[in-house]
């Protein structure tokens, strides 16, 4: 049986931590920043660890761990 392919969009958007969690950038940070509060922009810096449900959904598209 041939190898399963990893979705290229998932490769670009998500990465795995050493302990197996899925790491992602914050949502809602692409445009219209002037409308957002300064507090919201501060809290959206950096990356987040996805919860278990989202993690399973993403891992279906990266069968070999990205």
| pLDDT single digits (tens) 1-55 | 899 999 999 999 999 999 999 999 998 888 999 999 999 999 999 999 999 999 9
Query: Nearest CA to 60 among 3, 1, 2, 5?
Result: 5
Domain span holding position 14 = 8-59
pLDDT at 66: 65
**66 domain-assigned:** no
pLDDT at 18: 92
Model confidence at 64, pLDDT cuts 50, 70, 90, reads confident
Tally the domains of the chain.
Answer: 1
Q: CATH number of the domain at 48, please.
A: 4.10.410.60
**2 domain-assigned:** no
**13 domain-assigned:** yes
**1 domain-assigned:** no
Dihedral sign for Cα atoms in the order 15, 17, 21, 26: negative
Other C-beta atoms lying within 10 Å of the C-beta of residue 14: 21
**24 domain-assigned:** yes
């Amino acid at each position: 049986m041939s190898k399963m392919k990893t979705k290229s969009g998932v490769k670009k958007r998500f990465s795995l931590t050493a302990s197996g969690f899925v790491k992602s950038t914050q949502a809602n940070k692409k445009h219209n920043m002037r409308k957002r509060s300064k507090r919201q922009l501060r809290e959206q810096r950096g990356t987040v660890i996805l919860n278990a449900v989202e993690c399973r959904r993403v891992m279906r598209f990266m069968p070999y761990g990205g």
